[in-house]
Each structure stands twice: as structure tokens, then as C-alpha cells.
Amino acid sequence: MTHGNEFDVSTSAAQANAAHDIALPLAALVKLQAEAHTLRLPSAKATRSRQAGAYTSPQRGRGMAFAEVRQYQPGDDIRAIDWRVTARRQQAHTKVYEEERERPVLLLCDVSPSLFFASTGAYKQVRAVQATAMLAWVALFGGDRVGGLVFNGQLLTLQRAARRKTSVLRLLDNLARLQHQPGQFHPTPNAPLAEPGSLDNALAEACRVARTGSRIFIISDFMQLSKHSAGLMGRLAQHNSVSAVHISDPLEQALPRHGQFAVASATGPLWFDAADNTFRQAWQQRMNQHHERLQHCLRVAAVTSIGVSTGEHPRLALRALMAGGGRLG
């Protein structure tokens, strides 16, 4: 998120010792399948619906597969007429397509250094991996193929979509391994855009591997947004249904009146007192700018979004998502 001398939140010693969940092991992510049973992705398991003469699905992002050729019937789309069969049989025949039974669900999970932070509840990276794991289980239970990209600022892993529990377990293992751990060296949160594990590189990789008609979730705090991010998200959203799950902490909305905080800069950690008016103004301005950039990016890319706070379990937000017919506010 930082550019030049601008600041990005980091973890202070006091926060590191606080009673926050910092990282989740694989076993904890596996256990989330029990909670995921209470959720369902909208239209996750589609029933076959035959449509004559359709080239695209009535549901955005859902692909159509060729089924058969049959005799033309009143109401069929004339663009679907099979002229070769029509000429051979001397009667008009139409191609019939059917909606695919399953769809790929691709999850992009960000566990970059900027998510190694919390003022309440659990660290942002914990909420991110919880949300990703629950979405993976929900998609699998709904009969969809599940895959994902996990990136932490330096590394990026890809698990290709498959409708197998082993595929989900590999994705969860990537989530567990790439999280930052207490005492681990943390690179500067504003990792260069060329880093393999950057947000933009993850989006570019998603553009490469995503199959048309995929359901895509980007789970991140979006602190690495760049001038290229909106374009990359827009490319993803052209032929897929894309949603952003925005992970945030209350401190990113407003600072308390008192308290010591560590802020990461290009020259290393800097300590500030929240009562310092100069710092408070700079912080608020920076957070406002980031919020505006994110909203602009999502709007330009036509990507819907939902928020998850460090102070609440993602199941609350995801339950609202499922109840909303698949459209995020």
C-alpha cells in the first residue's frame, strides 16, 4: 500500500502479544467444513436445463455445452440452425445446448505482510484464510470444481480446480504454509509489483488459468492495489462472476484517541502515538485515499464486494452473501 514515504500498518510488540489469533494450522482449516455445511453458494449445483439455440447461459458466467441436433421447433433461435444437417435432411434442424452441471470456483487468497495485523479479534490473514477455506468447502459440497491461488507478497501457489476433496486439502495446505508466523521476518508490506506473490501477479495468473464461466473470489485487504489492478480485475470479470472479499481492521477506519502503534515505512518500523494530531491526520488521509482507490477499482472492473472485519468470523458475512442470491453489496 505504501508509495514513497507513505505509511502502512504493521504489528507492534504489544499487538503481537495480545490475545489475537495470529495464524491457523491446516487442522483448523479442515474443521471449517463443518460450518461450511450450513452455507451454500447460490446456484452452486445447477440442474440440467436444456435450451435450444442458446450460445450463452442465461446465468452470467455459466458455460453451455453442446447436447444434440434436433428438428427445428417454433420459437428456436434461427442462429442455432445447423445448416449442414438441414441441407442433408431437407428439414430445418437446430443445435441444442445444455447448461454445464458444474462450474469452476477459483479462490485468490492474499496473506501478504499487510494482513499480519489486528487490533481486535483475529489477524487479517486469519480472517482471509478462514473465508477462503469456507468458500472452498461450500463450493465442493455444492458439486463445483475448486481451485485457488495463495500469495504472500513473495510466493504464489496454484491449485488447479478439481471436484475432489484432495484438491481442497492441497489448497488448505497452501493457505497454512504461506501464512506469516510470529517472529518470522516480514518484508516491507509494499512489495514491488514484480514480486511473484504480489496482488497484480496473482490477478494476472488468474486471468491465465480461469476457465470461462468461473466463479471467482478475491480475498484480500487490497493494500497492494496499483494502476494495473482495475484492468486485471476487469479482464477477469469479462467472462466470469467475480467478487471481492475485503478484509479490514477497525483501526483502518479510525484511530483511537490514545495508544502506541508501529507503522512500516520504506526505512523500517516507525512508532507513533495515536494522540499525535499530525499522525492522525496523515493516517486518516491515507486510509480515505485507499478506500476511494479500492471502490473506484471495483466499480471500474464491475466487481462486487463484501467486507469482513478482524472482529468477526467470516461466516457472518458469507451467510449474508449466500442469502443475497449471489450478488454482493
C-alpha cell read off for 282: 496523515
What is the C-alpha to C-alpha distance for residues 254 and 284, in angstroms, rounded to an integer?
7
Residue type, 58: P
Residue 216 has pLDDT above 70, yes or no: yes
Confidence band of 243 (pLDDT split at 50, 70, 90):
very high
Residue 243: half-sphere exposure toward Cβ, Cα within 13 Å: 28
pLDDT at 274: 77
What is the C-alpha to C-alpha distance for residues 303 and 321, in angstroms, rounded to an integer?
14
Residue 117 has pLDDT above 50, yes or no: yes
Q: Which of these ranges, 4-18, 26-40, 59-73, 226-240, has the smallest mean pLDDT?
A: 4-18
pLDDT at 54: 32
pLDDT at 316: 85
320: nearest Cα among 1, 38, 108: 38
Q: Tell me the average pLDDT across 11-36.
A: 74
CA-to-CA dists, residue 182 to 68, 89, 150, angstroms:
58, 73, 19
Tens-place pLDDT, residues 118-151: 888 899 999 999 999 999 999 898 888 999 999 9
Tens-place pLDDT, residues 285-302: 999 999 999 999 999 999
Say which CATH topology domain 8-42+102-323 has.
Rossmann fold (3.40.50)
Q: Tell me the average pLDDT across 89-115.
A: 84
pLDDT at 68: 75
pLDDT at 217: 96
Q: Tell me the average pLDDT across 17-22.
A: 61
Residue 29 has pLDDT above 80, yes or no: yes
Q: Which of these ranges, 79-83, 165-169, 202-206, has the smallest mean pLDDT?
A: 79-83
Q: Tell me the average pLDDT across 236-250.
A: 94
Which residues face 70 on adjacent strands?
Answer: 94
Mean pLDDT across the chain: 79
pLDDT at 222: 97
Of residues 24 and 253, more confidence is placed in: 24
Write down the domain spans for the chain.
8-42+102-323, 50-99
Mapped to the 3 state alphabet, what secondary structure does the chain carry? CCCCCCCEECCCHHHHCCCCECCCCHHHHHHCHHHHCCCCCCCCCCCCCEEECCCCCCCCCCCEEEEEEEECCCCCCHHHECHHHHHHHCCCEEEEEEECCCCEEEEEEECCHHHCCCCCCECHHHHHHHHHHHHHHHHHHCCCEEEEEEECCCCEEEEEEECCHHHHHHHHHHHHHHCCCCCCCCCCCCCCCCCCCCHHHHHHHHHHHCCCCCEEEEEECCCCCCCCHHHHHHHHHHCCEEEEEEEECHHHCCCCCCCEEEEEECCEEEEEECCCHHHHHHHHHHHHHHHHHHHHHHHHHCCEEEEEECCCCHHHHHHHHHHCCCCCC
Confidence band of 324 (pLDDT split at 50, 70, 90):
very low
pLDDT at 209: 96
Residue 84 has pLDDT above 70, yes or no: yes
Residue 51 has pLDDT above 60, yes or no: no
Q: Is the pTM of the predicted complex or chain greater than 0.85?
A: no
pLDDT at 166: 96
Of residues 318 and 236, more confidence is placed in: 236
What is the C-alpha to C-alpha distance for residues 248 and 246, in angstroms, rounded to an integer?
6
Percent of the chain surpassing pLDDT 90: 46
108: nearest Cα among 213, 238, 211, 197: 197
The side-by-side arrangement of strands in the sheet containing 215-220 is 156-162, 145-151, 104-110, 215-220, 241-248, 304-309
What is the C-alpha to C-alpha distance for residues 218 and 68, in angstroms, rounded to an integer?
37
